[in-house]
Amino acid sequence: MQIQGSTHLHGPQPVNSPHQSASRLTADDTISSPAVQSVDQLDISEAAQAASEARESAPIRFDRVAEIRAQIADGTYDTADKLIDRLMDDLG
């Protein structure tokens, strides 16, 4: 089939398009150079390993999380810093 007109770019084409690179490897080609072969590697940081171990070791207590979130929202959640500040105010 041949299409003619102002947008005509190519004539009839074979199944494989004419834009294939001549340097492509065929099924008979082999890669023998060690510089071409690569090995995938995954490096996990110590922080990521610790987080993974913590996640696996203790289940999340969703009821306790909800309770603490509610305390934070109300402004009644006590942290160590708040307790120390309150103690210093009482002493001084």
pLDDT digits (tens, 9 = 90+) for 3-60: 666 665 666 666 766 565 555 555 555 555 555 678 889 899 999 999 888 888 878 8
Q: Look at the pTM and tell me if it is higher than 0.85.
A: no
Contact 77, 68 (CB under 8 A): yes
End-to-end alpha-carbon separation of the chain, Å?
A: 95
Give me the pLDDT at residue 63, please.
94
pLDDT attached to residue 38: 82
Per-residue pLDDT at 53? 87
**Residue 16 corresponds to which amino acid?**
N
Domain spans, the chain: 61-92
- pLDDT score for 30: 56
77 closest CA partner among 66, 88, 87: 66
Q: Which residue has the tokens 């082999």?
A: 30
User: One-letter amino acid identity for 54?
Assistant: A
pLDDT band of 64, cuts 50, 70, 90: very high
Amino acid 57: pLDDT: 81
